[in-house]
A and B are shown apart, each in its own frame.
Chain A
Amino acid sequence: MTTVVLIPGLVSDGFVWTAAAAALAPLPVVIADVTTQNSIEDMARSLLAQHGGRLLLAGHSMGGRVAMEMARQAPGRIAGMALLNTGMHPRRDGEEAKRQAMIDLAHGQGMAALASAWLPGMMNAARPPEPGLMADLAAMVCRMTPEIHERQLRALLARPDAAATLAFAGPMLLITGAQDVWSPVAQHRDIARLCPQARLEVIPDAGHFAPVEQPSVVSRLLADWAKPVVAADSGLDRIPDTPLFDRPRSNAGYALNKMAMGLATPEGRAAFLVDEGAYLDRFRLTQEQRAAVMARNWEEMVRLGGNLFYILKISAVDPTPIRAIGAAQAGMSLDAFLETRLGKVTNG
């Protein structure tokens, strides 16, 4: 089973990931804690130790640097990586003095003062953010302490040069805001150049806090990207066009298959033939499942969790050859299906 690990950035927590966590909810999702470690390497090490198995990472800002470091330490465990508003370059000239000023500000005047000084420059300058969002972000910063802030900034100042080691071959999604002046688009292009499967999405009307500035756009991108990554990684759906009857499918299709199982008795078959709708009403099919049965849409029944061994019993009541059911799922005419898939008779 793959676990999604959402890694916040500097003085951030799960608030940044609220929409993303909900959109990814079919998968096991955890919010990483990066407030206690003294270096990017230690953050990566402790997250790898805390969360077992295959991991799908999404890292925001400093969290993106942690994700890249996790992939460096344990490339075999990372199913995919989404990097948001981040970069891979090492410390730049003059960076330390600016960071030290912020450390001093937080210690001297407190986290609320830090939030007021730091947050506005992070946002999309072209359009002032909603006051509610600024208040929520300030509240998040105030949930942290000057000590956490200093520890994370010192970790950032001592960060590894990810460019020297980054070579992630797995699926990668890069997201940044068009108005992110802190981590501009060019930094993400640099990352994309090193990773063959990288895809870059630039979000309009967003700055450095794209996940909360444009939550629905970002979370939809993440969910669409994560689904096939996890399916491909889980092993079961690794084989194209082959839906194995695993727990999600069995759960999704339970009522549909139970309805079909009822056709194994003469009473069930008679009831189905007399009044199909009334028979179906005995089972709690979803509207989609009900429509698929009524339309004898085999492909759709399988997509909705139907298993052929059960739904085949519908074809006993309403005679349909198994090869026609196969052709329908393959999206072919019966003749084309027989010719291309079953055409060569071989004997002996």
Chain B
Amino acid sequence: MAKLIGGLGTSHVPSIAAALDKGLRHSDEWKPFFDGYVPAQEWVAAQKPDIAVVIFNDHGNAFFLDRVPTLALGVADSYAPIDEGWGPRAVPDFVGAADFAWHLADQMVERHFDPLICRELDVDHGLQVPMELVFGRPEVWPVKVVPILVNTIQYPIPTPQRMWDLGRTLRHAIESWPGDERVLVMGTGGLSHQLQGARAGYINPDEDRRWIADIGPAPQRYRDMSREDYVEVFGSEGAELIMWLVMRGCMDEKVNTLHRHYFAPASMTGAGMVLLENA
């Protein structure tokens, strides 16, 4: 059976990718942000995962509004980084874990989660940035990926509780896979930010810090919050944080928070991460 080695929550702000592309990793503005990820990078490298299941949202790149899957699952052999309008980035293609992903599809549908199954899929910064934050900029990615995409743009978006339940289902699916792969689950997005409307630029560092501190030991509050509560507390795009609940739902009730980091603002966003292992 495959082994869930840990759960990692992280922002996927596109400015992080832009900073890396511009060589600003060690600049005064960005160094404190990137340095905060180093302990998690070291832990993950030592754990040698084989597969990363990455939960993220597409940002109007792979999907347009003509068809909006609430939930989508990649089962491809590889995923190319997508051109978001600024031209292609020099990021290697991501290698898919196709057989494992098909197993997830089987198990999800068996348990009444019905994703759009994607045989060809390009991936935007929602997947690229977390991979770069955890694995750096290698010539070849050290893990295979399974992209799971959640609609967080077109209302109605799914509920926080539904995201938690998806996590429970993924846990079962991962552990029912007959191989012995080591799996890291990454919930991405957030933290507080708002891009639209007169409240643009809203961030909430106090609630972000509370989220990072509590998502491991005390996630119940975040399951109970409504989608509107997320928008109110974390901003209209901060509601992406519901995708961390998929990761948290994958984990045991009792977890150890191995590492956490928070930085604000990264561009217009509260940014950070948390690394959890089952206690």
Contact = CB atoms under 8 A, between A and B. Distances in A.
Given A242-B194, A244-B236, A327 B201 contact: yes
Interface stretch (A128-136, A184-192, A253-261): A253-261
Interface in A304-323: 307-310, 312-313, 316-317, 322-323
B203 A341 contact: yes
A326 B203 contact: no
A322 B83 contact: no
Nearest to B236: A242
Interface string B226-249: 001001100110000000000000
Contacts of A97: none
Nearest to A314: B85
Interface in B182-196: 194-196
Question: Which of A236, A238, A242, A330 has the largest count of B CB atoms less than 10 A from its CB?
Answer: A242
Interface stretch (B162-170, B216-224, B260-268): B260-268
Contact of A309 (B36, B60, B198, B264): B60
B198 A329 contact: yes
B153 interface: yes
Nearest to B202: A341
A278 interface: no
A342 B60 contact: no
A344 B228 contact: no
B196 A312 contact: no
Interface residue tally on B, bucketed by range: 35 or more
A346 interface: yes
Interface string B195-207: 1111111110100
Interface string A213-248: 000000000000000000000011011111111110
A247 B200 contact: no
B84 interface: yes
Given A250-B154, A342-B265, A345-B265, A326 B201 contact: yes
Nearest to A240: B199
Given A257-B65, A347-B32, A310 B201 contact: no
A139 interface: no
Contacts of B15: 322
B100 interface: no
Nearest to A298: B200
A309 B32 CA distance: 27
B205 to A, nearest CB: 5
A322 B262 contact: no
A138 interface: no
B228 A243 contact: no
Contact of A337 (B36, B85, B201): B201
Contacts of B228: 235-236, 238-239
Given A254-B65, A310-B60, A236 B155 contact: yes
Contact of A243 (B84, B197, B268): B197
Contacts of A330: 198-201
A293 B59 CA distance: 20
A309 B236 CA distance: 12
Contact of B86 (A247, A316, A327, A344): A316
A331 interface: yes
A172 B192 CA distance: 36
B153 A322 contact: no
A94 interface: no
Interface stretch (A5-13, A26-34, A84-92, A262-270): A262-270
A302 interface: yes
A242 B60 contact: no
B61 interface: yes
A243 to B, nearest CB: 5
B32 A242 contact: no
B148 to A, nearest CB: 19
Contacts of B195: 308-309, 312, 322, 325-326
Interface string B144-182: 000000000111000000000000000000000000000
Nearest to B33: A347
B203 A241 contact: no
Contact of A258 (B36, B64, B200, B262): B64
A265 B232 CA distance: 35
A348 B262 contact: yes
A131 B36 CA distance: 80
B122 to A, nearest CB: 10
B231 A242 contact: yes
A347 B34 CA distance: 11
A16 B33 CA distance: 64
Contacts of A329: 196-198, 200
Interface in B80-109: 82-87
A250 to B, nearest CB: 6
Given A302-B196, A323-B201, 9 more contacts: A242-B231, A246-B155, A263-B85, A264-B61, A264-B83, A310-B60, A326-B200, A344-B205, A346-B264
10 contacts: A243-B197, A244-B155, A245-B153, A254-B65, A316-B86, A325-B195, A329-B200, A330-B198, A330-B199, A345-B265
Interface of B: 15, 32-33, 36, 59-61, 64-65, 82-87, 153-155, 194-203, 205, 228, 231-232, 235-236, 261-265, 267-268
Interface of A: 235-236, 238-247, 250, 254, 257-258, 261, 263-266, 269, 299, 302, 307-310, 312-313, 316-317, 322-323, 325-327, 329-331, 337, 341-342, 344-348
